[in-house]
Structure 1
Amino acid sequence: MKFSQATDYALHAMLYLISAAPDKPIGVQFLSEKLGVSQTYLSKMMTKLVKAGLIQSAPGAHGGYRLRKNQDEISFLDIIQAIEGTASLFECSLQHGSECLIQQVVIEAERRMEDYLNQTKLADVAKKLPTEEKHAHS
């Protein structure tokens, strides 16, 4: 199982937003430089986070992105689903008259992973950043 690179960038971008002052949006240029990704690619990813209601965009010369939800409420699952969607990771390719036993196992594993990712808040991870990384994210 593998998440896309966009999810990796989204999680890191959200760490930058959590570390920023709430009244000071972070620009896409700053984020793209810090993450080493093009502004165009990052903008598309950030649009998904805006549509999911996790962040908001502020237009203008001093605009950028800031958190929309309380940082203690944002889970890894929220961010991953905003980027990857909510489709199941596994779909049985055989047409059974009853439920696929293999699919049942995989769906249960997926449910457990989703529970863990939902319980893991980005703010809790941000608190564990070493001091020098916290300053790098602000």
Structure 2
Amino acid sequence: MKYTKATNYALHIIAYFIRQEGKDNLSLQPLASHMNISPTYLSKILTQLVKADLIQSTPGVNGGYSLRKPKTEISFFDVIQAIEGSGALFTCEMDENRTCHIEKVMRDAEEKMQNHLKKQRIFDVVLKMS
């Protein structure tokens, strides 16, 4: 299994927001420069994070982006789901008319991974980085 680059960037972006919390809204261009991401690509990622209610966008001269959800509550799963969506990683295509035992094993593993990622807070990782 492999997550997209957007998920990698989104996790690092949220970590950066957590470290910067309390400072002015972060605007697109300086954020893109700091993250070394094109502003267009960054804008798409930020839009997905806004739609997931993890961050908020404030328009205007002093506008920008800031955390919407409390920094201590944002899990790895929240960010991954915002970018990757909520679809299953594995779907059985072979046993259409009966229970697929392979799919059951894969779904159980996926559920365990999701539960682990739901417990892991980005804030805790940021604290370790300080």
Name the TM tier (shorter chain).
over 0.9
Partner amino acid for 1:15? A
Deviation at 1:32, TM superposition (A): 1.0
**1:23 Cα offset (Å):** 5.2
Structure 2 distance, partners of 1:52, 1:21, is 18
Give SS of 1:88's match.
Answer: coil
Aligned to 1:22: 22
Q: Give the % identical residues.
A: 45
Provide the residue aligned with 1:13 in structure 2. 13
Number of residue pairs matched by the alignment: 130
Structure 1 residues not aligned, in runs of 5+: 131-138
Q: What's 2:31 paired with?
A: 31
> Structure 1, residues 28-85: CA drift from partner, whole Å, max 9, x if none?
1122112211101100110010010110011122221110011111100000000000
Equivalent position amino acid for 1:28 in 2: L
| Structure 2 contact 90–103 (Cα < 8 Å) conserved | yes
The normalised TM-score by structure 1 is 0.89
* Residue aligning to 1:60: 60
Say whether residues 1:98 and 2:101 are aligned partners. no
Q: Which runs of 5+ in 2 are unaligned?
A: none
Give the Cα–Cα distance (whole angstroms) in 1 for the partners of residues 21 and 83 of structure 2.
24
Tell me, yes or no, if the aligned pair for 2:21 and 2:67 is still in contact at 8 Å. Answer: no
Q: For the aligned residues, what is the CA RMSD?
A: 1.1
Provide runs of 4+ in structure 1 moved above 6 Å. Answer: none
Corresponding residue for residue 135 of structure 1: none
State how far apart, in whole Å, the 1-side matches of 2:95 and 2:48 are. 34
Structure 1 distance, partners of 2:113, 2:124, is 18
